[in-house]
Chain A
Amino acid sequence: METGKESYNLIIAGVGGQGNVLASQLIGQVFIRKGYFVTIGETYGASQRGGAVMSHIRISKRKQLSPLIPKGKADVFMALEPVEAIRVLIPYGSPDVVALVNTRPLYPVDVTAGEATYPEIEEIKGCLENLSRKVYFIDATEKAVQMGLPILGNMIMIGALIELGLLPFNYEDFCDILSTNFDKKELALNIQAIGEGRKAAQRLASGS
């Protein structure tokens, strides 16, 4: 592992329809190509129906790991929705975890109906900072909407993750995998989204 660790546990969390499954498969394919054992455990069924979804992506040099990360053993989180970040950090987070969080909320219907409360973004941020070593926030959905396709939020997030050094592979590795999964037009759009994510991460890193 390029991070020097023997294994790497990544969780991608979000809401059904945000592109969790695709993101986890693409990341998994990069590691397969590099000769690692990859195990991905993910939520199906709820995936299009507004439910909370998560993918556990587990990489090992040594053996096939189980499809579920043990409690407190995630290394990195990528959350496509802010309260979903908290939902998964509660069981799988630790003082060592690093998280990248999309700040755009998707309100559960019970919240809209006034039967449940969605926390204020400042409260969410405080809570996430309390549950992690470091947490980065970007408005990936906003950028994706500017690009005309909200679903690209997942690619923007991956771009940022790569730029922040939170995925133990480089930009070119990921582009190689993208090119085997998408046709020319989709590829260009996805690479553009990755680029947006990298730029956003550079701004985060420089503190501007």
Chain B
Amino acid sequence: MSDISLDEPGEELLLMGNEAIARGALEAGVKVCAAYPGTPSSEIIASLSEVARDLDIYVEWSVNEKVAFEVAASAAFSGLRAICAMKQNGLNVASDFLLNLNLIGVQGGLVLVTCDDPGCHSSTNEEDSRAFAKIADLPLLEPANFHEAKEMAKWAFTISEEIRNVCMIRGVTRISHARGNVTLGELPKKEVRPYFDKSKQRITFPVAQKHNLLHENLIRIERIFETCPFNRYDGPERPELLIITCGSSWLYTQEAVELTGVESLVGILKIGTTWPLPTQTIVEHLAKADRILIVEEVDPFLEGSVKEIAADFSGQIGPKEFFGKRSQHIPSFGEMNTDRIIQALSGILDVTYEPRDARYEASAKMAEKIVPVRVLGFCPGCPHRASYWSINSALQLDDRQGFITGDIGCYHLARTSAGWNLLKTSGAMGTGTGLASGFGKLERYGFSQPPIAVCGDSTFFHAAMPALVNAIYSKSNLIMVILDNSATAMTGFQPHPGVGKNAMGEEVTPVDIEKVCRAFGAKVEVTDPFDLETTRLKLLQMLDDPEGVKVLIMRRKCALLRQKEEKPPYRVYVDTERCIGEDCGCNRLCTRCFKCPGLIWDKESSKAKIDEVICVGCGVCSDICPENAIVREETR
């Protein structure tokens, strides 16, 4: 949609926050870009990948966030500018390297972007990654809108080179995945030659001295932050209430103040440099107000730091009354919005604000009752639905209370009713196999429930391989099902080592998951999940095998990818003569159990029906129907 490589300075584009960050990196002359995909961060590297060849930069989808960060660091060691992007959970994976790299330092600018997911739109946690900036003693920038995201990304490289260390940027879903105005700057044409200076050792030693150097750096950075344009104050000279805010909360705060009409009472100090804080700027504004409200998402990160400063300078600025998360005026969970801030303002100032009258509120409340929940589920034609269907039937036939330990990816949706709530555990990437490795060792205490770990193809490379090796080495007894759909589908179909393509668009020899598992020593089988009978049989055989690590690769390409490449293989319809409806005795396997959105129930005829707008013609449901009433006709 938008071309982040457009060489037209001054042109205004509608860019996604992630694209704006990518553009900022390009305007800074970035040369190496690496990431493992993760919502809401993926489009940063994805958009750079699209322009990599034209702009002659190197872009990589790495196997995980730690490796991505190491790849980016190697460029920065050699004097190039590099960027690495990840979601909040990804930073946990990369943190081991981060907390050594900060002591090592860099030569070229290295920018680490983490995109948090307040409100948990597409994550398994609601972590506030900003804490890592404090732990690592590294500067942190938080963009509040789209143009600023671009400008900050560009400036972050300057900051990084100023201290010869990593500069962090923290985005959130509502910046990363929102869109807004961005004015383009110039794309540099400078050539840089990478060189690794062997006279220096890129190691953490001597650790204590280097740790101290980090603290000295923070003092230097703080001085720069005092005058940077990303911190600004708007409002009266002596506000009755000072709001200190950062990130997208700044936009909501402005609207909350306008909607409640308290502009003359409230001042807004917006901080773009949230670590280290510009102490003098904060003190100067704290001195002018007695009451302070701090607005941010998710944790009280800014709040704690501002209070520390207030304590340190209490003699100069006097006592203050603070409002925020600790006072429970601002929730410390979920994402921010204008209404949350209005509510906080109503609790602090004498304002009443009702956007709608009581009659409307009552109607809205009534309306809530008739709106059915729309549970997330597998797409029509998704191989995972068929895979879980077979796993479920095998576990039921096996009858030993076996269960599924889950992992991260589209197949995590088996946590919902659309996947029959089959997923019984989930945690970090690779956790499904790690947990199964442990469950598989509990036999000695009489534990007889067979664990089945599910894991995606991309997750396999990311974190499940060590867990699989662990299971084999420790002689655990488990089944690992690799749901190989040939993509990192959940985050936007990025390629991975198993698919034969990389982020530069080059053809590469795929790393063969089957051979890898065999080489580790697992007993490996491969099946097409759409072949329900064979898949179930193979699972039952594995469940009967009393020892060892069994790997079943269920291989079928993601339905969304397939739809891009080929026409529907079947025309599917219900033969209304054969369908017996509720009287069938199958408990409506098709529509009550299988739960494909393309299969609906026709109330008038009391029979199953295909919704032609939704059905993608995969044909799997025709194998489900005991009366063979669901007919699939080949389209070729």
Contact = CB atoms under 8 A, between A and B. Distances in A.
Contacts of B39: 44-45
Interface in B204-220: none
A95 B591 contact: no
Interface string B452-481: 000000000000000000000000000000
Contacts of A43: 121
B428 interface: no
Nearest to B592: A113
B311 interface: no
Contacts of A2: none
Given A50-B376, A50-B377, A110-B417, A25 B600 contact: no
Interface residues of A, number: 65
A108 interface: yes
A63 B175 CA distance: 16
Contacts, number: 201
Interface stretch (A86-94, A157-165, A196-204): A86-94
Contacts of B14: 25, 28-29, 32, 38, 40
A119 interface: yes
Contacts of A84: 374
B94 interface: no
B595 interface: yes
A67 interface: yes
Contacts of A131: 360, 363-364, 367
Given A50-B377, A64-B146, A64-B181, A114 B371 contact: no
Nearest to B595: A109
Contact of B376 (A51, A87, A90): A51
A116 interface: yes
B1 A25 contact: yes
Nearest to A117: B372
A112 B601 contact: yes
Contact of B259 (A25, A50, A70): A70
A37 interface: yes
B568 interface: no
Nearest to B253: A66
Interface in A39-84: 39-46, 48-52, 63-68, 70-73, 83-84
B262 interface: no
A71 B370 contact: no
Given A44-B177, A64-B145, A113 B595 contact: yes
Contacts of A48: 379, 560
B364 A89 contact: yes
B174 interface: yes
Of A43, A48, A116, chain B has the most CB atoms within 10 Å of the CB of A48
Interface string B133-175: 0000000000001110000000000000000000000000111
Interface string B594-636: 0111011100000000011110000000000000000000000
Contacts of B372: 83, 108, 110-111, 116-119
A39 B378 contact: no
Contacts of A15: 374
B426 to A, nearest CB: 16
A130 interface: yes
Interface string B337-352: 1110010000000000
Contacts of A46: 121-122, 376
Interface in A1-46: 15, 17, 25, 28-29, 32, 37-46
A188 interface: no
A127 interface: yes
A115 interface: yes
A133 to B, nearest CB: 11
Of A68, A118, A150, chain B has the most CB atoms within 10 Å of the CB of A68
Given A28-B14, A89-B364, A112 B600 contact: yes
B180 interface: yes
Nearest to A58: B180
Contacts of B368: 90
A171 interface: no
Contacts of A87: 371
B251 interface: yes
B12 interface: yes
B179 A90 contact: no
B192 interface: no
Given A49-B413, A66-B248, A112-B595, A41 B121 contact: no
Of A84, A119, A141, chain B has the most CB atoms within 10 Å of the CB of A119
A37 B180 contact: yes
Contacts of B290: none
A78 B252 CA distance: 24
B519 interface: no
Contacts of B12: 32
B179 A109 contact: no
Contacts of B175: 67
B513 interface: no
B101 to A, nearest CB: 30
User: What 3 pairs across the A-B complex have the smallest Cβ distances?
Assistant: A45-B122, A66-B251, A72-B355
12 contacts: A44-B122, A48-B379, A50-B378, A52-B374, A66-B337, A67-B251, A70-B339, A72-B360, A86-B370, A107-B597, A107-B600, A113-B591
Interface of B: 1, 12-14, 39-40, 121-122, 145-147, 173-175, 177-181, 248, 251-252, 254-256, 259, 337-339, 342, 355-357, 360, 363-364, 366-368, 370-379, 410, 413, 417-418, 490, 560, 588, 591-593, 595-597, 599-601, 611-614
